[in-house]
Structure 1
């Protein structure tokens, strides 16, 4: 058993899905499956109950999950301690991020924890679109950008995947799609859409999903943040497509107009990805202060 196997196990346990976990880890699915099988062989029994769409933890897997998170957290803490000894007393950390990172990353809280651990490091934060952030990382103006990864990944940049999540349809609570499951993209073409602007990776992902099936749709509203898409949908003015966690968080809210969501067929469901992009390779930034910040995050952080 090694740390990488535990990181792989935690990713599958949290995603409840091997394909999504492999995307999040930037690892081929066969390699992930082999890693989990080796871990199960080492521990003497199955950790997951597998089905065609989802996986569930066995009782042994439930026990291991808590322990694996504790071990990985201890490894991060140990690395941070060594990093402090080697010298992060002074310097600068420049972070870039797309809008609407929550609920995937609580960036303000993470920056606060970093400031508490490394009080001599100045922190800068920039919010921008994916393309601009990646360019700034490449040009050295930003140390880490939290954004959608490039496809294909540039040779001069590294990244760690933090999320790979299916997108869902959001609509007004009284809409005919409210609560539906297994929708086809073709079912949506007669609807008016609320979309992000073209420079957003989410918009390009949705556009590419329809184009791949030869479908056309109508955008009636364009916005620069996901909360606006959700409010337009809640008012019955349009439907929108957003990551599932973003939609679920809005559905749970008690204030404002109610919003509902519907799921797509898995074969047609776009996968929204979030990664930390930086100058580096093999999942490790070249800049020590960037490595320290990523190790501090309370999230799975697995090199490719």
Structure 2
């Protein structure tokens, strides 16, 4: 059993195809003596001449012809493998497991940037995994996803040192009312104090931490605690309950894309800090692919 290196095969195939040592050396970008030495070493390792040489001609022997037939596809496959590995190292191929909340599809920028990334890197597979924001943080730590689009309080996103978080979407809170509600008759922004005695429909607390806390804080700042009598897990259900007259709700303005009949959306005169969505990954993630993905978003969001 003998070993043939990739370099020896390259030198042999170039010589076999040129049938001329000087031209083969020029093709390889080397001088002729190292090529001749490498071919002789290869013949010694195999135990048989690969070329018949005289002063005018170089011809393949039968052994050389067999080696050439087998070497060409091997070289092609090796070069393909090398290019694939190089592209992977540069973050141009592979798979990214992306955690998303239900509301990602309702956002304006994130779907657009995802489409652009897929166009620019068609060999990168984006696998979306739907899960709650808090669950995404756990999944990141357990290596079940690579990145996550999370809607969590900004302090949580930026103070946990094992995460890096890039703000990718900013949204303002708005008031969603049944179309026959008294406040729906005006186009002017609604003061929060006017909602103190209203019945609210909202998310279950564990489903939307990033929205639940801002709602409570907003109401508290205006002197009341919201009376939440109906809870749901999906925005379409919440807005559907508003349409059916079960109460009012406060949600990001982007949720107007749901387009529920019988619901009117009004601005709030003091909506509080904007709601942010963060592209989150582990701080110590060294994957070139993940760095490229996060960098793509960061560049387009600035």
Q: Same fold (TM over 0.5)?
A: yes
| Rounded Cα–Cα distance in structure 1 between residues aligned with 2:300 and 2:124 | 24
* Equivalent residue number for residue 158 of structure 1: 164
Correspondence for 1:3: none
Q: Secondary structure at the match of 1:245?
A: helix
Partner SS state of residue 172, structure 2: strand
Number of the residue aligned with 1:143: 146
CA distance in structure 2 between the partners assigned to 1:91 and 1:237 by the alignment: 47
In structure 1, the partner of 2:266 is: 262
Whether the aligned pair in 2 keeps the contact of 1:162 and 1:300 (CA below 8 Å) is: no
Aligned to 1:32: none
Query: Which consecutive unaligned segments of at least 5 residues does structure 1 have?
Result: 1-82
- Give me the whole-angstrom Cα distance separating, in 2, the residues matched to 1:212 and 1:164: 21
1:113: Cα distance to partner?
5.4
SS at match of 1:145: strand
| TM-aligned CA distance change 1:112 to 1:180, over 3 Å | closer
Contact 2:232–2:238 (8 Å) recurs in 1? yes
1:243 Cα deviation from its structure 2 partner: 0.8
**CA displacement at 1:96 relative to structure 2:** 0.2
Question: Which residue in the other structure is 1:169 paired with?
Answer: 175
Contact 1:92 1:123 in 2 (8 A): yes
Q: Is the 8 A contact 1:169 1:263 kept in 2?
A: yes
**CA apart distance, 1:206:** 0.7
Could you say which residue in structure 1 is the equivalent of 2:280?
277
| Aligned counterpart, 1:291 | 291
**Which aligned pairs between 1:113-152 and structure 2 lie closer than 5 A?**
114=117, 117-150=120-153, 151-152=155-156
Name the structure 2 match of 1:301.
301
Q: Is the 8 A contact 2:108 2:254 kept in 1?
A: no
Is this contact kept in 2: 1:209–1:270, CA < 8 A?
A: no
DSSP 3-state at the match of 2:134: helix
CA displacement 1:255-281 (0-9 Å, x = unmatched): x52321122123x43521111011238
Structure 2: distance between partners of 1:111 and 1:271: 22
Displacement of 1:159 in angstroms is: 1.1
Q: Structure 2 vs 1, CA of residues 175 and 213 (structure 1 numbering), >3 Å: closer, same or farther?
A: closer
Alpha-carbon offset, residue 147 of structure 1: 1.1
* Corresponding residue pairs, total: 211
Alignment correspondent of 1:238: 247
Q: In 2, are the aligned partners of 1:180 and 1:261 still within 8 Å (CA)?
A: no
Q: Determine if contact 1:295/1:301 at 8 Å carries over to the other structure.
A: no
Question: Cα–Cα, structure 1 residues 149 and 288, in superposed 2: closer, same or farther, change >3 Å?
Answer: farther
Q: Per the alignment, in what secondary structure is the counterpart of residue 215 of structure 1?
A: coil
Partners of 2:88 and 2:228 in 1: CA distance: 54
Aligned counterpart, 2:97: 94
SS of the equivalent of 1:94 reads strand
Q: Which has the higher helix share?
A: 2
Name the counterpart of 1:204: 213
- Rounded to whole Å, the distance in 2 between the matches of 1:182 and 1:293 is 39
3-state SS of 1:101 partner: helix
Change (3 A) 1:181 1:134: farther
Match of 2:189 in 1: 182
User: Where does residue 201 of structure 2 map in the other structure?
Assistant: 194
Alignment of 1:63-82 (within 5 A): none
Q: TM-score, normalised by structure 1?
A: 0.60
Equivalent in the alignment of 1:222 = 231
1:85–1:125 CA distance, 2 compared to 1 (3 A): closer
Cα RMSD of the aligned pairs, angstroms, is 3.0
